A and B are shown apart, each in its own frame.
Chain A
Amino acid sequence: MERDDLIEYSLHAHHDDAKGKQIRSKIYKVTLLLTIVTIIEVFIGATIKQSSDWWSAVKITFILLTLLKAGYIVMVFMHLGDERPYLRNIILIPYFIFVAYLIFIALVEGTAVGSVWKTMWQ
């Protein structure tokens, strides 16, 4: 028996040629951006040494650039930016809560373990 209570949501994503052209130009722009960011990262990584005074600033730059790249991949390539806010939140919020907790606990424990090790070797 054919069911009539199922809604085919995937059809909502269909679009015409004009919209397609627009989406493709956005994709190419994001590609260019991701490539440029990667080139910048490698350039910085290859020129500035870890012993340099600038290193802590470089570290933060790397992390920010990575988050920028990740944001574009998730929001544009994975279309999360085009989904309903409900869906976006149910994916992003639990993830960030867990990750924030994991980073917090790793830092606290890491500091504790580090101080124990220091006293052990003295």
Chain B
Amino acid sequence: MAGHSAQLDAKTLWGGKESPFQTSYGKLMMWFFLVSDALTFTGLLIAYGFTRHDSQDAWPIGEETFNSMPFLGHGYPLLYVALMTFILIVSSVTMVLAVEAGHRMDRKGVTKWMIATVIGGFFFLGSQAWEWSHFIHGSEFGKIELNDGSVAIVKGHFGEINSFTVIEAGKKHKAGAVLKEDLMHQFQHAAEAGHLEAGKIHLADGSVAKINKAADHEMKLIIKKDGKLHKVGGKEIKGKQAEKLYYEALYSGDKHRVIYGANMKQNEYGPQQYAQFFFFITGFHGFHVFSGVMINILILLGVLSGTYHKRGHYEMVEKTGLYWHFVDLVWVFVFTFFYLL
């Protein structure tokens, strides 16, 4: 918004005294910082693309990994991320409205829209925390190494585990006892350690129990690593055949056949780098959002105490606004390259 200075000719602009950009020092430096920060994110996303290109079909697709909604469960591909994108866009809009109000010296307007922006920022951070927790925690099926050596991720609805019936007594549980607590956790732990065999679970106290589990629905295996029989990008394995292959492997009694969730060493979604890029890119962006919210709060305090009003202009709001829009801008790219493609 160059305003009335638009008429200045090049000679005046570049002749000294005037800023050739007709901008204050602070705003110019904010722009330079944003350019360098944009280059950092560009580097990260290009590194992501490079690594993904190496792994080809083994790389997970966004809608395979991110298809859950809070309170609603599975089967909503990309909806949650779209919601997060929308939240961030809306908070960017409230920010630009705060800047506009500032240009009219409307202190009430600036306060109102800054509060809305801070709330939007917290909403986004909360969403990201939920998504991280969901990503780390993983699905109920996990990723499994099938008997032919191929590795598959599993989609579908996991039949609930109703109880364990103890058939061989251990130190703690007597034969015939029916266990009803902490079932899923024990089940997954046993699966990772190779303590599941033919529908039976070896519990930590040495007892053996029968697993009473409801049937799974619409199970589907997606191969992520070639084995002797099943290849990446081959025919989809569905239904009864998928269940047979999955449980053969799960109840094989071998260690490390199944992986649940994600950490820095392994993850159930695809190649190891996938989770590392997820943590780093969304984490780095999330940290930007977090610092953005903190800066917005500081600026809001400045607005409330009337510091900027006394100064005669709300340029501080505009400068933080630039940073906040930048965070939104980065998310637009992360959304496309990480989730959509």
Task: List chain A positions with a Cβ less than 8 A from chain B.
Answer: 5, 7-17, 20, 23-24, 27, 31, 34-35, 38-39, 41-42, 45-46, 50-51, 59, 62-63, 65-66, 69-70, 73-74, 76-79, 82-84, 86-87, 90-91, 94-95, 98-99, 102-103, 106, 109-110, 113-114, 117
Contacts and interface: CB of A to CB of B under 8 A. Distances in A.
A12 B96 contact: no
Given A73-B332, A82-B2, A15 B19 contact: no
Contacts of B93: 27, 31, 77
A62 B42 CA distance: 17
B92 interface: yes
A83 B77 contact: no
Contact of B1 (A45, A79, A109, A114): A79
A46 B78 contact: yes
B333 interface: yes
B175 interface: no
A62 to B, nearest CB: 5
A66 B334 CA distance: 10
B153 to A, nearest CB: 14
Contacts of A62: 336, 340-341
8 contacts: A9-B19, A10-B315, A12-B5, A45-B339, A46-B79, A77-B92, A84-B23, A106-B50
Given A15-B1, A63-B336, A84-B2, A73 B39 contact: no
A70 to B, nearest CB: 6
Contacts of B5: 9, 12
Contacts of A42: 78-79, 82
B103 interface: yes
Contacts of A114: 53-54
B46 A83 contact: no
Nearest to B23: A9
B332 to A, nearest CB: 5
A95 B336 contact: no
Contact of B86 (A35, A45, A83, A102): A35
B21 interface: yes
Contacts of A9: 5, 19, 22-24, 27
Interface of B: 1-5, 13, 17-24, 27-28, 31, 35, 38-39, 42-43, 46-47, 49-50, 53-54, 61-63, 77-79, 82, 85-86, 89-90, 92-93, 95-97, 99-101, 103-105, 233, 312-313, 315, 318, 321-322, 325-326, 328-329, 332-333, 335-336, 339-341
Contacts of B18: 7
B100 A98 contact: no
B325 A78 contact: yes
B40 to A, nearest CB: 11
A13 B77 contact: no
B341 A106 contact: no
A43 to B, nearest CB: 9
A66 B333 contact: yes
Given A41-B340, A45-B340, A13 B96 contact: no
Given A45-B77, A98-B39, A106-B46, 6 more contacts: A10-B318, A17-B104, A24-B97, A73-B332, A77-B93, A95-B38
A2 to B, nearest CB: 14
Contacts of B4: 12
A45 B62 contact: yes
A108 B320 CA distance: 38
A54 B331 CA distance: 25
Contacts of B312: 8, 11
Contacts of A94: 35
Contact of B35 (A31, A66, A91, A110): A91
